[in-house]
Copies of this chain bind each other. A is one copy, B any other.
Amino acid sequence: MRFTMNSNLEYEVKAPTIFILNLEAAALPRQRIVAEKLTLEPANPIDRFSDDEGGSRFFRVLAEPGRFAVAYEAEVEVNMLDQAPEHIREVPVGDLPLDILPYLLPSRFCQSDLLGRFARREFGELEPGHSRVTAICNWIYEHVDYVRGSSDSQTSAYDTMVLRAGVCRDFAHLGIAFCRALNIPARFASGYAWKLEPPDFHAVFEAYLDGNWYLFDATRQAALQGLVRIGVGRDASDAAFATIYGEAELKGMSVGIEAAHPVADDEPTTRAVGVG
C-alpha cells in the first residue's frame, strides 16, 4: 500500500535551542520512500544521523529565538510482512541474535524487572508465539482505559499497572514491559497511523518473533498495515518526535496520513504485520 503523509510543527523559540527531530519515515526494506520533502523555516543547516538497526532517522538543528517551523511530507510504499499469526514462534533466549538482547532489559518507562511476577502469572502458561503477544494486547485493551490527559511524560508502565488509564504511549510501554518479562524482546515504535482519529503521531510496540519484528497496537486505534514507522527505541525516551535542549514552546502541530489510492478492504486485519 502507498501512503502520503505530512507533519507540521511550529515552535516559538525563546533561547538558542537544539532540536533533535525524528519525524521522517524510517528507512526500512519494507518501507520504501517514494518521495519526501523536509522544510525548515528558517532554513537552518541540519546534521543527520540514522539508527542502522531500527531505521530511525534523526536530525539535529539549532534554532535561534523566534518562530521555528518544520514541515515534512512524504509518499511511502509500505510492504509489510503479512502472515498468518499461527505459525510465528517465539525465539528462545539462547537463539536470539546477540544484538537483540538489549531489548530484553528494563528501561526508563518499561520496568519489566518489576512486572515479572504478574506477567508470568497472567501470560506464562499461554502458548508461546505471536498469539501470546496478542493476548497481552487484549489484556491491556480490556484492563486499561484509554483516557486522554490521564498520564504525562513521566508516567511509566509501573504506574499504568496501578492507575489503569493512559494513552497510546502508556499502552505500548505496558506491552513492552510484559513481553520483556516473558523473555520476548520488545521495543517502542512511533509512526504515522492511517485511520487514527483524531490524527496524531501514534505509538505502538514491536515484538521480536521468529526472526522478525512484528507490530502490535494494544489501543486498537489504528490499522497496523497502515502504520508508517518513524522511529524505534527502548521506550518513548528513545523515540520522541522532538527532543529539545533549550527553551521552546510548541505553538501548533498537525499530522496527517492518507492512502494514496482508494482502498477496498476496510476490515481490521487479523494477520500478523511485520516490519522485517
Residues of chain A at the chain B interface (Cβ within 8 Å): 18, 20, 47, 49, 58, 60, 62, 92-94, 98-99, 101-102, 104-108, 111, 113-115, 117-118, 121, 143, 145, 153-154, 158, 161-165, 183, 237-238, 243, 245
Q: Which residues of B contact A164 (CB under 8 A)?
A: 117-118, 121
A-side interface mostly = mixed
What chain B residues lie within 8 Å of A99 (beta carbons)?
49
One of B62, B93, B121 near A94 (C-beta < 8 A):
B62
* B contact residues around A92 at 8 Å (CB): 18
30 CB contacts below 8 A, A to B, read: A18-B92, A18-B93, A18-B94, A20-B101, A49-B99, A58-B98, A58-B101, A60-B94, A60-B98, A60-B101, A93-B245, A102-B238, A104-B245, A105-B237, A105-B238, A105-B243, A106-B237, A107-B237, A108-B113, A113-B153, A113-B154, A114-B162, A115-B162, A117-B145, A117-B163, A117-B164, A118-B162, A118-B164, A161-B161, A183-B245
Which B residues are in CB contact (< 8 Å) with A93? Answer: 18, 245
A98 & B49 in contact (Cβ 8 Å cutoff): yes
Could you tell me the distance between the alpha carbons of A237 and B111 in the complex, rounded to whole angstroms?
11
Residues of B within 8 A of A108 (CB): 105-108, 111, 113
| 3 pairs of A and B residues whose beta carbons are closest in the complex | A49-B98, A93-B245, A117-B164
Interface centre among A20, A121, A164 (most CB of B within 10 A): A164
